Structures are given as C-alpha cells and as structure tokens.
C-alpha cells in the first residue's frame, strides 16, 4: 500500500479538526459555479461565521471515518465544498438557500449539527428560522413580559382598592354624603355650640350671685350682734335709780 503524502495527511487533519470544533458543517455540490461566484459565496458566508472550502471527497471520507460525523460520507459525490459554521447555523443555511435560488448549480446535500445528522430538508427548515439576534430578542421579551405584568399588577392594586372602597361606601345605606356636601352641615353644629355655651354662661351668673347673698347676710348679722348686748344690760340700771330716790 502506498503511503499517503504529507500534504494529504495535512488536509485530512484539517478537515477532522474543523468538523470537531465547528458548531455545524454543511456539505454542498458546486458543479457549474464559476470562480467569481464561488468567491462571492465564500465572502458572504464568512461574514456570518461560515468557512466555505473545497476538498476532495476521498480525503473528507478518510477524515470522518470512525467519528461521530461519519454520516457526512453519504453526501460525498461530485465536486464537494463544505461550509464549516461557527455561530448562527440558521443564518448560514439561509445564505446558502438564497444563493442557490439565484444559482441553481449549488446543491445543498446535508450536514451535521452538534454530532446530529442534518438532511437537506432539515437545513431548509433551519433557513426558515429567524436569525439568532431575533430569537434572542424574542426570548428576552418572553422573560420580561411576566415581570412587566407583575409590576403592572402591583401598580393597579392601590387604584383598584380605592375604587372598591369608594363603591362599598356608596353602596352602604345611611352613610354620610361626600365631604363636599357635608361642609354646610358642619357649620350648623358649630353655631349651636356657641349658642349653648352662651346659655350656660347666662345660667351660671344668677347661681353665683345667689351663692354670694348668704355671705352678705352673715356679715351684716355679725356686725349687728355687738350693738344689741349693751342695750340688754342697761335695763337693770334703770330700775335701781327710782329705788334710791324713794328712800
């Protein structure tokens, strides 16, 4: 058996390393494409994280034999170019699909994604998906939506409570009117209080005067008593005087 040349060994190792480190690999057939068209496709895929390279089928088959990517060997017919994807797989699949619409010579055969086999139909479905940025934005929106709803719920609780309390007060019989209508009614009790206070003062005045009258009478009585005692003692002296004159 002829020993493989070093350059072939290097290509096999390169293919194996690229398949193992890439997120996905897409096998295409480029028969009939010009060099300019191939260069344009390679440039567009590179901007999306894809490395589009041409390899011999025998070397690719040798690189995938005995690995989890061995299913790629089923697509190795005709001139083969492989797009190694490092990033958004759906974006690369979409770019290949759009290019194939304008250039039917490009045939998308299949590939692998994280060790799983992808058919041409799987790659077509991936091409229909939104881009990675759009998916991340939608996912972030789904995460933020419950939090926004919860915040709105918390904000609505005080308002709903106030409305409910107001409706409860209005529905209960015998409840006073609103504060605006109570303003005139509050002035009447104030006037009545002033009138009652005035009447109380008027009633207390004669009571105090009556309470002071006995004090005046007692004072007059005490002043009159000393004058009555001498009048009582002078009566015997008047009787003795005639008796002396009779003798």
pLDDT per position as a tens digit, 20-71: 999 999 999 999 999 999 999 999 999 999 999 999 999 999 999 988 889 9
The token pair at 65 is 């034999």
Mean pLDDT taken over the chain: 73
- The confidence band for 87, taking pLDDT boundaries of 50, 70 and 90, is confident
Kindly report whether the global pTM for this prediction surpasses the value 0.75. no
Write down the pLDDT at residue 158: 64
Of residues 117, 126, 29, 110, the one with CA closest to residue 69: 117
Query: Pairing between strand 24-29 and 50-55?
Result: unpaired
Residue 229 has pLDDT above 70, yes or no: no
Tokens 């060790």 appear where?
115
CA of residue 55 relative to chain centroid, distance: 54
Q: 125 Cβ partners below 8 Å, 6+ apart?
A: none
Please state which of the ranges 68-77, 78-87, 102-111, 144-153 shows the lowest mean pLDDT: 144-153
Write down the pLDDT at residue 98: 94
Write down the pLDDT at residue 68: 86
Asked if residues 75 and 120 have their Cβ atoms less than 8 Å apart, the reply is: no
Percent of the chain scored above 70 by pLDDT? Answer: 53
CA-only gyration radius of the chain, Å: 59
Residue 147 has pLDDT above 70, yes or no: no
Interval 89-138: pLDDT, tens: 889 999 999 999 999 999 999 999 988 899 999 999 988 887 666 667 76
d(CA 89, CA 126): 8
Q: Beta-carbon neighbour count of residue 52 at 10 Å?
A: 23
């Amino acid at each position: 058996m002829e020993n493989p040349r070093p350059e072939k060994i290097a290509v096999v190792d390169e293919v194996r390393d690229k398949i193992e480190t890439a997120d996905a690999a897409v096998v295409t057939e480029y028969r009939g494409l010009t060099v300019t068209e191939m260069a344009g496709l390679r440039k567009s895929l590179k901007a999306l994280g894809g490395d589009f390279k041409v390899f011999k089928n025998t070397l690719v088959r040798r690189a995938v034999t005995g690995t989890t990517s061995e299913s790629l060997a089923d697509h190795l017919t005709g001139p083969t170019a492989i797009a190694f994807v490092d990033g958004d797989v759906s974006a690369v699949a979409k770019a290949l699909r759009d290019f194939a619409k304008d250039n039917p010579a490009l045939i998308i055969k299949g590939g692998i994604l994280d060790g799983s086999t992808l058919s041409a139909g799987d790659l077509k479905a991936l091409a229909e998906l939104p881009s990675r940025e759009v998916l991340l934005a939608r996912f972030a929106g789904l995460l933020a939506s419950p939090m926004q709803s919860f915040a709105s719920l918390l904000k609505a609780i005080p308002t709903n409570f106030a409305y409910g309390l107001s409706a409860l007060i209005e529905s209960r019989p015998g409840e006073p009117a609103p504060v605006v209508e109570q303003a005139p009614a509050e002035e009447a009790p104030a006037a009545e209080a002033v009138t009652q206070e005035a009447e109380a003062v008027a009633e207390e005045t004669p009571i105090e005067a009556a309470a002071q009258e006995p004090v005046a009478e007692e004072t007059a009585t005490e002043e009159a008593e000393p004058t009555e005692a001498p009048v009582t003692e002078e009566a015997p002296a008047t009787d003795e005087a005639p008796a002396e004159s009779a003798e």
